[in-house]
Amino acid sequence: MIVHVDADAPTPVFEQLRSQIERLIVSGQLASGARLPTVRQLATDLGLARGTVNKVYEQLARDGLVATAGRHGTTVLPVARRRAPASADVDAAADTLALVARQLGLSDAATHAALERALGRW
Stated as kind and residue range, the H or E segment containing 109 is helix 108-121
pLDDT for residue 122: 67
For 43-65, give the DSSP string: HHHHT--HHHHHHHHHHHHHTTS
For each of the domains in the chain, give its residue range(s) and CATH number, in order of start: 1-82 (1.10.10.10), 85-122 (no CATH)
DSSP letter (8 states) at residue 40: H
Helix and strand numbers, DSSP H then E, in the chain: 5, 2
Radius of gyration in angstroms for the set of CA atoms belonging to the chain, rounded to a whole number: 15
Of residues 40 and 120, more confidently modeled: 40
CB atoms within 10 A of CB 76: 21
Give 2-54 pLDDT, tens digit per residue: 899 999 988 899 999 999 999 999 888 999 999 999 999 999 999 999 999 99
Handedness of CA 63, 69, 75, 78 (dihedral sign): negative
Quote the CA–CA distance of 37 and 95 in Å, as a whole number: 29
